[in-house]
Chain A
Amino acid sequence: MSIIAILITYIFISNFILVQFLGLCPFIGVSKNSESALGMGMAVTFVTSLASVVTWSVYQYLLIPFELQYLRTVAFILIIASLVQLVELVIRKISPSLYKALGIFLPLITTNCAVLGIAIINIDEGFSCLQSFFGGLAAGLGFTLAIILMSNIRERLDLHPVRKVFADVPIAFISAGLMALAFMAFDKSLLVNLHLV
């Protein structure tokens, strides 16, 4: 798959949230206002891109030579957890303003399905290192797109009367469902029409 095809696939066609349901917990939990949604999206994009490359390298150069492929899940989750911790330390040291924006979201990312999900998908799809990086980047951007759209919808919903039964979480799910319906317009034929496959 070419890099543009990977970007289009993971941002639109199989959007991590609206099509594959990966990273749904922060999507519902952190989408109440658009500022924190943007912060969360940026933090996730940063970590997915970085984690994709690191987990890919570890799998290719450490697990395969020693025939330890069955340790994939354990190894990947440990890498992601320590990576998140490291990123937090580095950002705090280098850029306090960025830390202020992303800091509170970073610890939440360890248990975000999207990060482990893209790491495993990269391996299952047999991507190269560069493809994995763009896979991670696209997954993060797709997450960011969905969470920003969602937060804008929810900010507007605050101004409208919603039945008490549906207030907050249920209406968020229903809005997400309608958004997913719109995203169904993007499918594999998009890649064919753009002459990417």
Chain B
Amino acid sequence: MSNHTHELTKGIFEDNPTFTLMLGLCPTLGVTTMVSNAIGMGFSVLFVLTCSNIMISLLRNVIPDSVRIPSYIVIIASFVTIIEMVLHAFMPALYASLGVYLPLIVVNCIILGRAEAFANKNTVFDSLLDGIGMGIGFTISLTVIAFIREVLGAGQITLFPMGSWNGIITIPGIHTWPVRVMTLAPGALLLMGFLKAAYDVLVANKAKKAKKAKTEATA
């Protein structure tokens, strides 16, 4: 696998920001009551992360080391303001349901974390790929969590309304007797615990397999 593809794909599973790095947890649990919210949040973060990564990478030789964190925060906050205004103007329903979590993208540790750990040391192109990859990884984990919570907790999947379709898929059976707690706060925390454990098992299995393949190759 070439280096560039690796920058793009590492965020999706092996360095997944939500499960490995345990960063940006507040929106992860706060907005995942509906699949549409999760996708909206994921793409907002993807946009901010990619733009701020590019910007910081461009300015990495200009920004003095001692004031780098405040500068990063201002750059990130500007992009968050842009996405906030865009959503407010064009997708008011999504804007309303994301509520306080939208401006809170500023303090989402993923973005500042990538700025500090990646964008200020790498080229613009690599930072762009890193931003997109991490953003997609974040969107996927958010969508998975929201999918499980909404299916179990409400027996439906809310997507975006298109034409005459209202965007809601109802699942017969669970819809009549949903496990209501899953859409509430405790369900999010419990599910996060189980998902983290499952993710750790998957990673451990993968590492074991890779090690086995390596020993077989040398033997």
Write the nearest CB–CB distance from B71 to chain A, whole angstroms.
11
Chain B residues with CB under 8 Å of A178's CB are 186, 190
Contact A165 B193 (CB under 8 A): no
Known contacts: A73-B77, A111-B112. The answer to whether A78 contacts B187 by CB under 8 A is no
Q: How far, in angstroms, from A124 to B26 measured CA to CA in the complex?
A: 19
Q: Can you list 18 A-B contacts (CB < 8 A)?
A: A20-B185, A21-B26, A21-B188, A72-B103, A73-B80, A73-B81, A77-B107, A111-B112, A113-B107, A116-B107, A120-B104, A169-B193, A173-B193, A174-B190, A174-B193, A177-B186, A177-B192, A178-B190
Contact A77 B106 (CB under 8 A): yes
Contact with A along B98-120 (1 / 0, CB 8 A): 00100110110100100000000
Q: Which residue of B lies closest to A73 (CB)?
A: B103
Q: How far, in angstroms, from A183 to B188 measured CA to CA in the complex?
A: 14
Q: Which residue of A lies closest to B81 (CB)?
A: A73
Of A22, A72, A177, which is within 8 A of B193 by CB? A177
Q: How far, in angstroms, from A120 to B101 measured CA to CA in the complex?
A: 10
B207 within 8 A of A: no
A176 within 8 A of B: yes
Stretch from A23-31, A44-52, A136-144 contacting the other chain: A23-31
A70 within 8 A of B: yes
Q: Which 10 A-B pairs have the closest CB atoms?
A: A173-B193, A177-B189, A177-B190, A174-B193, A180-B186, A170-B197, A181-B186, A74-B77, A24-B25, A21-B29
Of B25, B69, B80, B104, which is within 8 A of A117 by CB? B104
Listed in ascending order, the chain B residues whose CB lies under 8 Å from chain A are: 22-26, 28-30, 69-70, 73-74, 77-78, 80-81, 84-85, 100, 103-104, 106-107, 109, 112, 181, 184-194, 196-197, 200-201
Write the nearest CB–CB distance from A178 to chain B, whole angstroms.
7
Chain A residues with CB under 8 Å of B186's CB are 177-178, 180-181, 184
Known contacts: A120-B103, A177-B189, A180-B189. The answer to whether A113 contacts B77 by CB under 8 A is no
A110-144 interface with B by 8 A CB criterion = 110-113, 115-117, 120-121, 124
Write the nearest CB–CB distance from B184 to chain A, whole angstroms.
7
A19 within 8 A of B: yes
Write the nearest CB–CB distance from B159 to chain A, whole angstroms.
23
Say which size band chain A's interface belongs to.
35 or more
Write the nearest CB–CB distance from A154 to chain B, whole angstroms.
13
A2-30 interface with B by 8 A CB criterion = 18-25, 28-29
Chain A residues with CB under 8 Å of B70's CB are 78, 81
Contact B81 A180 (CB under 8 A): no
Contact B187 A177 (CB under 8 A): yes
Chain A residues with CB under 8 Å of B109's CB are 25, 111
Chain A residues with CB under 8 Å of B28's CB are 21
Q: How far, in angstroms, from A23 to B100 measured CA to CA in the complex?
A: 13
Known contacts: A25-B22, A78-B74, A113-B26. The answer to whether A71 contacts B81 by CB under 8 A is yes
Contacts beyond the supplied A29-B22, A176-B189, A181-B186: 12 A-B pairs with Cβ under 8 Å: A18-B185, A20-B185, A22-B30, A25-B24, A78-B70, A78-B74, A116-B107, A124-B100, A170-B193, A170-B194, A173-B192, A173-B196
Chain B residues with CB under 8 Å of A147's CB are none
